[in-house]
Chain A
């Protein structure tokens, strides 16, 4: 079974430029998560989707960040314009609907963003 796929793996951009990250979850996983992991920190949730609906985006900086999951499968996270403080690893994870109390989240390898 293929795992969570993310691309690109690495991205270097100058500040004020736009950037987009793509995630393809494990087949059949209805729930998709985007996390941001700053250097030396644990991941922090940005947004959670149930199928195509964003059910928790309370931590997403909506002035510059946007996300979509149009067909309830793959998802794109965008930053426009990027700031120096956005340098981090952006992780995508997915899970089955199952029991939401403890269903396992499967993580992709992440996209390491460097903003210069």
Chain B
């Protein structure tokens, strides 16, 4: 089955700096890669996703890159703000969408 690894587990950045979270996957059949943000005690929220037919996607301060050959994808947050502090999860899924495999999460802290 699919195995998704996520690094780092914790990340602290100064406000205004960039944050990068990386994930790798093992199943070449995976073709959909969403990222979720989870604040303490709340539900994971979909913040950005990418499908395997594109290499990069950007939405304001958030971007995701995908390298299918190397089987890794990354979340980039620029100009970080304190409200970006949360746990971020990556995930991988196949065409059928019936299985989502999650990374172990990254706790991001943005220091004002």
Partners in one complex: no
